[in-house]
């Protein structure tokens, strides 16, 4: 009797969804890994890239532009309490350990290197860690838990977000077919936070400078995104992320004005004013 390898089922499902017509969230087996910090480097003025590697990243999987991992930090007493493997999932200790969530910006399967781009802001646990961490430091990495697989069957793509969404948008633009068309809106403080991107020729990138206004506090992103006019009869996929409160009007716009079905958009609050380690999933 042939033994079925259940570990590969998510890979088969990813292939099926990519060949289909609608996006779908596909869960992966969730792992906990011990990785080593290899190096850090600024990406523009607003992102600090932390590159992880070492034997612990062997077998890491990366399939979608917005998939994320959690970094596990020490508690106030200095003790790190990582989750434990539990079949295809993880068993998390109670109370939950201190953690922060980051987009997988890049994964090199050949070298095992994993890039996490941390958006810098004063007083943030992850920001302070990324600024201070040195090569050789050990970090516990949980995930990714899965991601939304988006078929390349859409006529146009709309991507938008603030600097916390920029790592995912950058990866989106790299992984879209070179024949893709659409728009990418990125709200940053000023030109110093702009970074080099690799969009398909028919995807227009618009940098939105908010100036001295606090991140996520105004309606610059909303007003700019709402100006687009998708051609009649074309299929549109929308991906937007950023401050949760600022995204509420865009959720309504996508639902009521664009009339997109649930499988044709993904709008996620990456952070929320006054809430540490906000999770919109």
pLDDT in tens, 24-46: 999 999 999 999 999 999 999 99
Identify the pLDDT of residue 97. Answer: 96
Reported as a pLDDT band with limits 50, 70 and 90, residue 280 is low
Identify the pLDDT of residue 281. Answer: 53
Is the model's pLDDT at 5 over the cut of 60? no
What contacts 66, CB < 8 A, 6 or more positions away?
Answer: 103, 147, 148, 168, 171, 172, 239, 241, 266, 268
Cα-based torsion angle of the residue sequence 227, 228, 231, 232 in order, rounded to the nearest 10 degrees: -50
Identify the pLDDT of residue 273. Answer: 73
Q: 224: closest CA among 244, 240, 200, 202?
A: 240
pLDDT, tens only, 48-77: 999 999 999 999 999 999 999 999 999 999
Identify the pLDDT of residue 122. Answer: 84
pTM of the model: 0.94
Identify the pLDDT of residue 180. Answer: 98
Strands (E), the chain: 24-27, 32-43, 47-53, 68-73, 84-86, 89-91, 98-103, 106-107, 114-119, 138-142, 146-149, 156-161, 181-188, 202-209, 236-243, 265-271
Identify the pLDDT of residue 216. Answer: 84
Mean pLDDT of 244-266: 95
Mean pLDDT of 2-31: 83
pLDDT, tens only, 121-141: 888 899 999 999 999 999 999
Q: Quick check: bond before 241 cis, omega within 30?
A: no
Contact criterion met (CB below 8 Å) for 88 and 156? no
- Ordered domains of the chain (ranges, CATH): 25-143 (2.40.30.10), 154-271 (3.40.50.80)
Mean pLDDT of 92-117: 96
Identify the pLDDT of residue 239. Answer: 98
Contact criterion met (CB below 8 Å) for 61 and 88? no
pLDDT, tens only, 169-208: 999 999 999 999 999 999 999 999 999 999 999 999 999 9
The residues with which 103 forms a beta bridge, in sequence order, are 68
């Amino acid at each position: 009797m042939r033994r079925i390898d259940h570990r590969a089922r998510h890979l088969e499902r990813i292939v099926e969804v990519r060949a289909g017509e609608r996006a779908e969230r596909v869960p992966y087996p969730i792992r906990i890994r011990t990785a080593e910090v290899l190096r850090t480097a600024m990406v523009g003025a607003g992102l600090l890239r932390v590159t992880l590697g070492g034997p612990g990243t062997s077998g890491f999987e990366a399939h979608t532009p917005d998939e994320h991992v959690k970094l596990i930090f020490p508690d106030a007493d200095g003790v790190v309490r990582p989750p434990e493997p539990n079949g295809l999932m993880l068993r998390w200790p109670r109370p939950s350990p201190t953690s922060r969530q980051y987009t997988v910006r890049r994964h090199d399967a050949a070298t095992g290197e994993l890039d996490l781009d941390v958006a810098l802001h004063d007083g943030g646990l992850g920001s302070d860690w990324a600024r201070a961490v040195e090569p050789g430091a050990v970090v516990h990495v949980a995930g990714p838990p899965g991601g939304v697989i988006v078929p390349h069957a859409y006529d146009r793509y709309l991507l938008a977000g603030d600097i916390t969404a920029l790592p995912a948008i950058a990866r989106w633009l790299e992984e879209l077919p070179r024949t893709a068309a659409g728009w990418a809106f990125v709200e940053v403080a000023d030109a110093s936070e702009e970074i080099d991107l690799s969009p398909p020729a028919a995807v227009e990138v618009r940098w939105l400078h908010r100036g001295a206004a606090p991140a996520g506090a105004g309606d610059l992103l909303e007003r700019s995104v709402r100006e687009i006019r998708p051609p009649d009869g074309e299929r549109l996929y929308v991906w937007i992320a950023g401050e949760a409160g600022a995204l509420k009007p865009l959720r309504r716009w996508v639902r009521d004005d664009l009339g997109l079905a649930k499988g044709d958009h993904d709008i996620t609050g990456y952070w929320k004013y006054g809430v540490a380690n906000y999770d919109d999933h």
